[in-house]
Structure 1
């Protein structure tokens, strides 16, 4: 029952993440150019109920609020679904371009087509929240059964010795209960002798590495920075908890990938003054969102038992191809130039990922 309850709670939490992702995405989505259908419960107002401006159409020309306001439980459900499904038809206009013509989407958004598409940050929030919700639903998480002591050679050997001794003692107790002419006595005596040999061998190995490993186990960091020393000790004592915290940090601080990536994308075009940091930020944010959606797709395909070879090929080839197409279309490059920059960017990505993980590790240690 506890397992069932835990599973249900995990699914409810994941559903909550999906809803939160949609609503947060909606919160940062610009409203310019959007129009909603007629509400229920109130008729058309003559003045704006938000800013008291006289209405000359279905929407206030000053603040943009609709003259129709909702006041029903059904309207609350509509708003919730509206947030999760994400921005009426904007998602369905954005997703095909993000998948196949990401550079066109990037360029058109930068050029001013804002109301037509889901904004980069809204798409980023939606994809990140959805990805981690899918991971939670499918039970993909850091291992929780790690034992820091088992990671040490001497401790692992001592654990093996303990298990062998327990097994031998059970066989000795069984042997004592058997009659002198019982046919099972010979087999039990062989098992006991074998266990004794293994125990002796393990004790010899423990004696050879014991001193060095004990020092390793008793290691205490002395960097002179109390917070850092304390964090290192926490990693040693409970690595499973720290890995869980690292996973949570990836989820919470995924936005750091955007500012970390900006200088590297700028380096690819620093001599082209027509491209500003804003342009690079739109490029990076849409690209990260696309990769998150790709990982969602791969995860779901794995859940329905699609071949690992197919999934590995998708994970290996789709990201560089997608990045190359986005670079070519967004910055209007020739193919050879886009391919060259893609190769450099893939190298940059390893640096960005390393910096990101180092920052998260430091946050975990110091937290």
Structure 2
């Protein structure tokens, strides 16, 4: 009877770091990988390619539930099924960066006609030709003349309310002068617009006379701000601090004026601070969830996972909308179906977030509805305030 030859046992190598026997690619004791950087370049490049392909496959397995299955990613993560998906923070970071890059690209590609800024939308401010402007001015002056004649007759007749009628008559005179002033501003814009059309240039934005001439300014102590004559000054601040405040005020004024003339610039400035603002607000949103679901006895990190997944979904939706906007710009023939998809996605976002909250926290429909509304209001106020502060800060800091 022949006995089989024993299988040779491969000697176990010790971990170079802690000396424990290695049982795989990583040391079970200290976690150090068996493979280091001191090896052929081809092996390192193969590991890089493998890592990239692995991440890509996880992204493909993640985007489906992220977009179409509210709460699935979060519940799977809580249940321990994590390896198949992109980690929550990496998913949020990736979606946010790509989404805002795409939004800025879309704004750069969009037509300048969609970015006109009209401070007033009256008939005079909508006139496109000098004849149309004169017609609108005559019509509105005629209405004021009619009202003035009626008031004058009532004043002659006497009776109660005479003082009020006289004040109203003075107001009508001020209104006539304001109409003439606005007509002059619009006439000047029409001349500049005609020159731009003749030179095949974009139409200039129409803004108020005060802003156009630089008369509308910041105020401090009830007077127009001026770095020399009326600077911002607080006694409790050192001279260097007051000087910095005045420099920031100057930057904010100049950037705001440029932004009014070029609304794309203003929108780009706001978009530049949105990603940072979202990163800062993320823990606060988790705090809101912790407060509203305090009796669920969940850890703060669980609420943070919910916040990361919900914001990743919002960023992904924004990415899709911006991408569709770019496609509409490049291929006008599909503008209608792309518009329908964008509209449907706009409806799906709040529905998704509501269903996600319902499925993760597993409360009744009424309680979920009440908490969803309350959390939404609180977070909208918080993030709007944060974005406004960040936008003002960016205007004041940027030169």
TM over 0.5: yes
Q: In 2, are the aligned partners of 1:51 and 1:63 still within 8 Å (CA)? A: yes
1:57 to 24, 40, 44: 24
For 1:204-215, list aligned pairs within 5 A.
Answer: none
Aligned match of 1:97: 65
Distance in 2 (alpha carbons) for counterparts of 1:228 and 1:260: 28
1:244 has 2:272 as partner: no
1:364 has 2:394 as partner: yes
Aligned match of 2:55: 87
Distance in 2 (alpha carbons) for counterparts of 1:81 and 1:58: 15
Shift of 1:352: 3.6
Distance in 2 (alpha carbons) for counterparts of 1:257 and 1:142: 30
SS at match of 1:64: coil
Shift of 1:318: 0.9
1:106 has 2:136 as partner: no
Aligned match of 2:201: none
Residues 226 and 159 from structure 1, CA distance in 2 versus in 1: closer, same or farther, beyond 3 angstroms? Answer: same
Distance in 1 (alpha carbons) for counterparts of 2:26 and 2:196: 79
Shift of 1:289: 0.3
Q: Deviations over 1:259-301 (max 9, x none)?
A: 342343334323x151232222111110010121122233334
2:363 to 326, 333, 339: 333
Q: In 2, are the aligned partners of 1:59 and 1:67 still within 8 Å (CA)? A: yes
1:282 to 305, 311, 316: 305
Q: Deviations over 1:163-213 (max 9, x none)?
A: 668999xxxxxxxxxxxxxxxxxxxxxxxxxxxxxxxxxxxxxxxx96x66
Aligned match of 2:130: none
2:45 to 55, 71, 76: 76
- The count of aligned residue pairs is 282
Residues 362 and 63 from structure 1, CA distance in 2 versus in 1: closer, same or farther, beyond 3 angstroms? Answer: farther
Shift of 1:53: 5.1
Distance in 2 (alpha carbons) for counterparts of 1:142 and 1:356: 28
Aligned match of 1:217: 215
Shifted more, 281-290 versus 139-148: the winner is 139-148
Instruction: Indicate the structure (1 or 2) with the bigger Cα radius of gyration.
Output: 2
Q: In 2, are the aligned partners of 1:320 and 1:342 still within 8 Å (CA)? A: no
CA RMSD of aligned residues (A): 4.2
Shift of 1:80: 6.0
1:261 to 285, 288, 291: 285
Distance in 1 (alpha carbons) for counterparts of 2:197 and 2:372: 59
Shifted more, 45-54 versus 296-305: the winner is 45-54
Q: In 2, are the aligned partners of 1:101 and 1:325 still within 8 Å (CA)? A: no
Aligned match of 2:317: 294
Q: Which runs of 5+ in 2 are unaligned?
A: 1-10, 121-181, 199-207, 222-231, 233-244, 329-333
Shift of 1:104: 3.8
Residues 308 and 342 from structure 1, CA distance in 2 versus in 1: closer, same or farther, beyond 3 angstroms? Answer: farther
SS at match of 1:87: helix
Q: In 2, are the aligned partners of 1:142 and 1:243 still within 8 Å (CA)? A: no
Distance in 2 (alpha carbons) for counterparts of 1:244 and 1:45: 59
Distance in 1 (alpha carbons) for counterparts of 2:394 and 2:111: 17
Residues 164 and 88 from structure 1, CA distance in 2 versus in 1: closer, same or farther, beyond 3 angstroms? Answer: closer
Q: In 2, are the aligned partners of 1:249 and 1:360 still within 8 Å (CA)? A: yes
Q: In 1, are the aligned partners of 2:92 and 2:309 still within 8 Å (CA)? A: yes
Distance in 1 (alpha carbons) for counterparts of 2:343 and 2:310: 19
Shift of 1:81: 7.1
SS at match of 1:107: helix
Q: Could you tell me the TM-score, scaled by structure 1's length?
A: 0.61
Residues 93 and 245 from structure 1, CA distance in 2 versus in 1: closer, same or farther, beyond 3 angstroms? Answer: same
Aligned match of 1:198: none
Residues 54 and 157 from structure 1, CA distance in 2 versus in 1: closer, same or farther, beyond 3 angstroms? Answer: farther
